[in-house]
Amino acid sequence: MTFVFKSIDHVQLAAPKGSEAIAKRFFGEILGFQEVEKPELLKRKGGVWFEFGKYQIHIGIEEPFAPAKKAHPAFQVESLEALKIHLTQNEVSYTVDTDLPGANRIYVHDPFGNRIEILEWIA
């Protein structure tokens, strides 16, 4: 069983200063996004960029930092069940939400406390 990210509904998340390695582990190693090299002028601001398909997620450094607990990106996946197994194997907790008709969805929080919605539309 495998999962495939198909589209993204929203984009930019913030993280505290010095958290690039943690972001690389979560977004790169666990979610499987590819790291994208930032433009030279933006590298000094910190943060890290990722992509899957033609979509990018930018993790920007924000001080003082406060996680987005309500605002969130929403990723559409193929095989949400496979992703749930993958998250469990990597000790990433998630919450199942059944409030959206026609969709299976979960919420996870990145290591910084930002809310992330992941959903699969039911055919």
Which two tokens mark 9? Answer: 């509904």
* Cis peptide, bond prior to residue 39, ω within 30 of zero: no
Distance CA 19, CA 112 (A): 9
Q: Which residues are registered as beta bridge partners of 36?
A: 49
Beta strands in 30-99 (DSSP E): 34-36, 48-52, 55-61, 74-78, 94-97
- What is the residue-level pLDDT of the chain in tens, covering all 123 positions? 899 887 654 478 999 999 999 999 999 999 999 999 999 999 999 999 999 988 899 999 999 999 999 999 999 999 999 999 999 999 999 999 999 999 999 999 999 999 999 999 997
* CA 104 centroid distance within chain: 17
Question: Domain extents for the chain?
Answer: 4-121
The CATH superfamily assigned to 4-121 is 2,3-Dihydroxybiphenyl 1,2-Dioxygenase, domain 1 (3.10.180.10)
pTM of the model: 0.88
